[in-house]
Chain A
Amino acid sequence: MIWLTWRQHRKQALFGLAGLAVLAAVLIPTGNRMRDVFASSGARGCLDALGGAQLVAFRAAQECNSTVERFADGYETWAYGGVLLMFLPLLAGMFWGAPVVAREVEQGTHRLVWTQDVSRTRWFLVKVGLVGGGVLLLATGYALLTNWWLWPLTRTLVVPMDYLIFDQLGVVPVAYTLFAVALGAFAGVVTRKVLPAMGATFVAFLAVRGVVEFLVRPNVMAPKEYRVATTTSEPMLPNPAKRDWVIDTAVHNADGSVKEPNGTAFCLRPPPGADASPPPGAAQGGRGGGCTAEGGYNLWTYQPSGRFTTFQLIEAGIFLVLAVALVAGTVHLVRRRLS
């Protein structure tokens, strides 16, 4: 069975390895270059200097932010291009998962292979186990590469827990890939044809990913809040080095009502010897100035970056459980439904 699986899937395995090699050939040089620039632009140094405090002085944050922007300007397209890597698990599901059973049924070879001594349960489990194992290795390689490559960007341009970025980091890409392959195999047993199975895999994968991403993930743990009074002599901003996932930023009146959604504002009480005007960019979105009545505050709603691992494990767990359930469902259908 192992021989047969290898004989049937060796082209896919070589294709996968070649794809991974191409990916490495692109990511390793560009990643090295990005790390060099990250250090030489001073972005890395200023972020390290900000330390781990929740809030940092407005001026220090702004200075570091402008250094970071100089670095990030050159890499913005890279960060968004990197989003394409998110589709690799889907490709694995469509091209490796969907044909596992569907191609056999389409060619009629299931009638050949299921009438040998080996039972069809064993046949399927060895096949899906080996394909899954190969996919696990490739996905791990791919995840290691993207994690390494994205590191300077996740410290500057994007936040690790943000939508679409989280999905490329940590262990979730591996879980998505295993899920996609199990989904493809299941779709193949249901549709019995390769192309419809690929289509169904595409649709179902995006649907499940979307539901988990936008409906489940934000509700795993309640977000936390920062409050900073608008009227202050020492404005503070969330520490950009901490990489918290800021979900919402708004200026509130003292009674809690929203004065400015999507904004940050400060009303500087001129301290002795300080610059009276707010530094450039301080009142983003805070049209009309940040001067609320006494007691107004900026409110940042955020997921702390420290939750990254917890969120990763929960999401990877969800997709692994789904993958196991799909494999179990496929075994059931292979045993009962097909002939």
Chain B
Amino acid sequence: MTAALEATGLGRRYGKHWALKDCTLHLPAGRIAALVGPNGAGKSTLLHLAVGLLGPSSGTVSVFGATPGDPKVRGDVGFVAQDTPLYPDFSATELATLGTKLNRRFDRALMLERLNGLNVAVDRPVPALSGGQRAQVALALALAKRPRLLLLDEPVASLDPLARREFLQALMGGVADEGTTILLSSHLLGDLERVCDYLVLLQAGRVQVLGGVDELVAQHRLLTGPLWTRDAGSINGVAAVVRQSHTERQTTLLVRTDDSAPAPGWPDPQWTVSDVSLEDIILAYLADAGAGTLPGPRNLHRVGGSA
């Protein structure tokens, strides 16, 4: 499968501080990927490296096989930066002119039609628009390049729930027929769960979890049973315990299984097995920086259970 975005040992240092370190990931084309992690985990740094705003301090990054910023792929990558910066005192129409003048391929009509469809006043200066409308303008500007890879850095962070929903609808609608690969960073796990089919979880500058959402959800289970004081990793079929909690009589384990389709009755009758949501999985991994799951043989870290 072609990689829309591929990083190997990618790192970026600011002075002595590594904002991103030893990041290896492979984002297959056509995926809609969530980029998740606590503040300072390196999400913006990774996106800036992928779009060519930053150069790597170590390792390599490529989009569609070329270095980001290379004229060959510049037009293939769209970017919506954090806080959706736009020139104040420009109207959406003028921003469309900007897009036309600065890009080889730019669908001006598409941008303006899209905004008209959303009832955004395209002739008013951008600051006169609501936050949600400004974000829509920034998105429409990025989509009008008809990018093959679209990177968005917390585009909905400052929006109210309705504007957030409209933004994500516009995003999904905008790429539905194009097969555009998306990497979208956000803290809003519920939103991500609704639209994303791939997860990149960064923690402290490293990739902690990487994989398709369906696979991840299928691999993880919540086990509830009587108080379990032995090593939870010894339970049959459990590859790793991501999170465990105990009360006086009960133990709850969020585990990664060896087999994504365990047989009914697994692991044994004393455990009640339930499915977990993507949000549960993300929260469990965020709570424990030591746990990790990466696909592919070269990156398979077999990290044991948690403390």
Binding site for B on A (CB under 8 A): 1, 3-4, 7-8, 107-109, 111-119, 336, 338-339
Which of B47-55, B163-171, B198-206, B262-270 participates in binding chain A? B47-55
Contact B48 A339 (CB under 8 A): yes
B52 contacts across to A, CB distance below 8 A = 114-115
Binding site for A on B (CB under 8 A): 48, 51-55, 69, 71, 74-75, 77-79, 81-83, 85-88, 90, 94, 97-99, 101-105, 138, 141, 145
Contact A1 B85 (CB under 8 A): no
In the complex formed, the residue of A with least CB distance to B95 is A112
In the complex formed, the residue of B with least CB distance to A4 is B98
Contact A109 B103 (CB under 8 A): no
In the complex formed, the residue of A with least CB distance to B54 is A339
B71 contacts across to A, CB distance below 8 A = 117, 119
Of A7, A107, A118, A339, the most chain B CB neighbours within 10 A belong to: A339
A8 contacts across to B, CB distance below 8 A = 87
A117 contacts across to B, CB distance below 8 A = 71, 74-75, 102-105
Known: A4-B98, A7-B94. A112 touches B104 (CB 8 A): no
B153 to chain A, nearest CB (A): 8
Contact B53 A339 (CB under 8 A): yes
B69 contacts across to A, CB distance below 8 A = 119
Contact A115 B77 (CB under 8 A): yes
Contact A109 B74 (CB under 8 A): no
Contact A109 B85 (CB under 8 A): yes
Of A7, A107, A115, A118, the most chain B CB neighbours within 10 A belong to: A115
Measured between alpha carbons, how far is A339 from B69 in the docked complex, in Å? 12
Known: A111-B79, A112-B87, A339-B53. 7 other contacts (CB 8 A): A108-B85, A113-B102, A116-B99, A116-B103, A117-B74, A118-B102, A339-B48
Contact A4 B85 (CB under 8 A): no
B217 to chain A, nearest CB (A): 33
Known: A107-B88, A108-B81. A4 touches B102 (CB 8 A): yes
Partner of B102, one of A1, A109, A111, A336: A1
Measured between alpha carbons, how far is A102 from B82 in the docked complex, in Å? 18
In the complex formed, the residue of A with least CB distance to B48 is A339
A158 to chain B, nearest CB (A): 44
Contact A3 B75 (CB under 8 A): no
Measured between alpha carbons, how far is A259 from B90 in the docked complex, in Å? 72
Contact A107 B53 (CB under 8 A): no
Contact A112 B85 (CB under 8 A): yes
Of B48, B98, B99, the most chain A CB neighbours within 10 A belong to: B98
